Homo-oligomer: A and B are copies of this chain.
């Protein structure tokens, strides 16, 4: 698995004038762009991770404690593993509060993925 930091994700790189993410219709992706962008799609390309993500996204404030979302039919270590992947992909952030760890949706990154798929032109 790739170990990109959030700051390296293509969708967050541009503070430029143009909108951050040209849709996939605008021009072919370079190999490097594809490599980095695929990490985000791959992160959502697993059923368990999709459920975890939607559990968090649909929770109040777009964030949830791990203990609130652990009932997805896999073991606790597996849940932890998937949350880590979503976090590594830049789709979630996490924060420890006392005993519990809260995961939260990273709105800009997700919006950027959505923009990539906007095929209008």
Contacts and interface: CB of A to CB of B under 8 A. Distances in A.
A111 B120 CA distance: 9
Report how many copies the assembly holds: 2
A110 B23 CA distance: 11
A51 B44 CA distance: 18
Interface string A57-95: 110001000000000110000000000000000000000
A37 B62 CA distance: 20
Contact of A110 (B29, B31, B105, B117): B117
A6 interface: no
Given A34-B48, A38-B45, A73-B31, A24 B54 contact: yes
The 3 A-B residue pairs with the shortest CB-CB distance, nearest first, are: A42-B45, A114-B117, A45-B45
